[in-house]
Chain A
Amino acid sequence: MAIYQSGVIFENVDTKNPDCWTLDSYLNRGGYTALKKILNEKITQESIIADMKTSGLRGRGGAGFPTGLKWSFMPRTLEGQKYIVCNSDEGEPGTFKDRDIMAFNPHSLIEGMIIAGYSISASVGYNYIHGEIFEIYERFEAALSEAREAGFLGKDIQGSGFDFELYAHHGYGAYICGEETALLDSLEGKKGQPRFKPPFPASYGLYGRPTTINNTESLASVPFILRDGAQVFQDKGVPNGGGTKLFSVSGHVNRPGNYEIPLGTPFTKLLEMAGGMRDGKKLKAVIPGGSSAPLLPASIMLECNMDFDSIAKAGSMLGSGGVIIMNEDVCMVKALERLAYFYHEESCGQCTPCREGTGWLYEIIHRIENGEGRINDLELLDSIGNQMAGRTICALADAAVFPVRSFIKHFRDEFEYHIEHKKCMVSHKWC
């Protein structure tokens, strides 16, 4: 079961109470007061966007782009339909925070999306929900019904003259749809294959109309920012990244789960909150931001703080906040083989370097793991990586190359041992 520290999205949310997701519970926690204030006082779009910039909120889906700046790119005064889309297609290995936001506090996301719609002149929103979490999709639909009935969605919301409708769209098993333009194509009922950028979604998005796409956690943070104050949010974090952040801790810890903590919290503190290492084993390596982020060895990770700059300086990415913890028993070749298989499976097949390259990465790591590695395989992997990264429409190819490079960089001896001795250097145990 997930565990939380009081923060922003999970402030006062009693996740043990089966009714904590309901409208009543949300209203009792001060829910929808930010929206009501905006509508009653007719707060301007410019003022809200300025607040979002002040908050220092950076996108929580992985790229860390400033949310306020993204909103400011929307051509708000352009006539015609505009859209706000929430990316809840959470399938980045190691990441499971958005699922819990929708399970335990869906109205924070709904309120955030209504406010976002108001701020960018979008009267329709879609929440694209990951295929494997059908029960969460149903929960979100139930929350939408409550919000509609209470007059927070629909025509003339709270007598303000502002119309906004919000719908849930259910995915069906394609990692690539977490890429925002693949998600838009999927919403249009097509194969989820990323689009060339430019044009960016703010000018040509869903059905060719201006669209803003934000991550679930980003949008669910909006009510807090506009209710408690942008500066209050900023001050919870660090200068180059405001607020708290949800970290999904998985792997060899005693208490895997989601932890909402201030950006800048030392990694050692997060590890301690997650109950420390399971069975008292030694920490070997960590992937700090979802499987697409470069791996860091324990010695570097233990010195890091959990914020964008600290993790970047250490050579990785904060990404989605999926923190994968590995102990001393893990063979790095075997771990990398599994990730390489994933990217090969999930490449959409549109760009040749990715479609073919992810296959080659997997094949070669697989043969090393199976004792058939060749002496120049590590150079070959590097060369394939060079032909993939930065040469495709989207970042999946890069995401497939990052783990390969970082695993070999930090644990080259294990790969060389595997090639030479045709077996693992450590006596591998998954758990």
Chain B
Amino acid sequence: MLSNEALEKIDIELAKYPDNRQRSAIMSALRIAQSEKGWLSHELVGYVADYLKIPPVQALEVATFYGMYNLKPVGKYKLTVCTNLPCALSGGVDAALYLKERLGVGFNETTADGMYTLKEGECMGACGDAPVILVNNHKMCSFMTTEAIEKKLAELQ
């Protein structure tokens, strides 16, 4: 279900932990699987669990506990906007409202063309750079004014 490249990345993570503690690699293994497939289906979670030789339920409870795993399909680009208090004071809420109108979707919704999913985020630890938007979990975009959002959307095609 996963490419050799993804499995090699999981092996690198596995090597960080002591023998018989492969359960520790589940968070990164699920991240790597999600990066390749876009979201975590139950089959994929089960596959990753088998690869690590842990019971599927141990993988599923991690997938459902941590907020950055996608348990449903998402658009090509998942945009997560922080609207927590410090960000709100520097335009976080305004950025989220702008994106809602611009994309015509609410939080946890995907545009009809399947391009963008909009999410509301909690503290990303970057309050000084507000408004902050995270693209597909791994690329953080700072100071996202209206102009900066438009520029970013033009790049994300």
CB of A332, distance to nearest CB on chain B (Å)? 11
Q: How far is the CA of A93 from the CA of B82 in the complex (A)?
A: 10
B90 and A250: CB pair below 8 A?
yes
A171 and B89: CB pair below 8 A?
no
Does A190 have its Cβ within 8 Å of any Cβ on chain B?
yes
With beta carbons under 8 angstroms apart, the residue of B17, B93, B127, B139 that contacts A430 is B93
Q: How far is the CA of A207 from the CA of B22 in the complex (A)?
A: 12
Q: Spot the interface stretch: A38-46, A106-114, A321-329.
A: A321-329
CB of B106, distance to nearest CB on chain A (Å)? 16
A322 and B58: CB pair below 8 A?
no
Q: How far is the CA of A124 from the CA of B11 in the complex (A)?
A: 19
A172 and B138: CB pair below 8 A?
no
B residues near A335, Cβ cutoff 8 Å: 85, 88
A342 and B122: CB pair below 8 A?
yes
CB of A426, distance to nearest CB on chain B (Å)? 14
B residues near A90, Cβ cutoff 8 Å: 125
Q: How far is the CA of A99 from the CA of B132 in the complex (A)?
A: 14
A172 and B84: CB pair below 8 A?
no
Does A68 have its Cβ within 8 Å of any Cβ on chain B?
no
B24 and A189: CB pair below 8 A?
yes
Supposing A132-B140, A191-B61 touch, asked if A172 and B128 sit within 8 A by C-beta, the answer is: no
B residues near A322, Cβ cutoff 8 Å: 86, 127
CB of A202, distance to nearest CB on chain B (Å)? 19
CB of A138, distance to nearest CB on chain B (Å)? 9
Supposing A188-B21, A189-B24, A248-B127 touch, asked if A173 and B89 sit within 8 A by C-beta, the answer is: no
Supposing A170-B28, A207-B18 touch, asked if A132 and B125 sit within 8 A by C-beta, the answer is: yes
Q: How far is the CA of A132 from the CA of B83 in the complex (A)?
A: 14
B residues near A172, Cβ cutoff 8 Å: 27, 30-31, 66-69
B85 and A189: CB pair below 8 A?
no
The majority secondary structure among interface residues of chain B is mixed
Q: How far is the CA of A248 from the CA of B121 in the complex (A)?
A: 20
Does B23 have its Cβ within 8 Å of any Cβ on chain A?
yes
B residues near A94, Cβ cutoff 8 Å: 85-86, 123, 127
Q: How far is the CA of A2 from the CA of B89 in the complex (A)?
A: 17
Does B38 have its Cβ within 8 Å of any Cβ on chain A?
no
Q: How far is the CA of A94 from the CA of B28 in the complex (A)?
A: 27
Does A266 have its Cβ within 8 Å of any Cβ on chain B?
no
Q: How far is the CA of A324 from the CA of B130 in the complex (A)?
A: 13
A residues near B66, Cβ cutoff 8 Å: 131, 171-174, 192
A99 and B127: CB pair below 8 A?
no
Q: How far is the CA of A389 from the CA of B21 in the complex (A)?
A: 35
Does B134 have its Cβ within 8 Å of any Cβ on chain A?
yes
A residues near B28, Cβ cutoff 8 Å: 169-170
B83 and A191: CB pair below 8 A?
no
Does A417 have its Cβ within 8 Å of any Cβ on chain B?
no
Task: Encode A89-111 as 1/0 by CB contact (under 8 A) with B.
Answer: 01111111011000000000000
Task: Encode A74-99 as 1/0 by CB contact (under 8 A) with B.
Answer: 00000001000000001111111011
With beta carbons under 8 angstroms apart, the residue of A93, A256, A342, A346 that contacts B128 is A256
Contacting B at CB under 8 A, from A330-361, are 330, 335, 338-339, 342, 345-346, 348
B residues near A131, Cβ cutoff 8 Å: 66-68, 137
Q: Which residue of B lies closest to A255 (CB)?
A: B128
Task: Encode A258-269 as 1/0 by CB contact (under 8 A) with B.
Answer: 100000000000
Contacting B at CB under 8 A, from A244-262, are 248-252, 256-258
With beta carbons under 8 angstroms apart, the residue of B24, B88, B94, B138 that contacts A187 is B24
4 closest Cβ pairs, A-B complex: A173-B67, A189-B23, A173-B68, A132-B124
Taking A131-B137, A338-B85 as given, write out 13 further A-B residue pairs in contact, using a Cβ cutoff of 8 Å, ordered by the A residue number: A81-B18, A94-B85, A95-B125, A99-B126, A133-B140, A168-B16, A169-B16, A171-B27, A173-B69, A175-B123, A187-B24, A248-B127, A339-B84
**Which positions in A face B, CB cutoff 8 Å?**
2, 81, 90-96, 98-99, 126, 130-135, 167-175, 186-192, 207, 248-252, 256-258, 291, 322, 324-326, 330, 335, 338-339, 342, 345-346, 348, 430-431
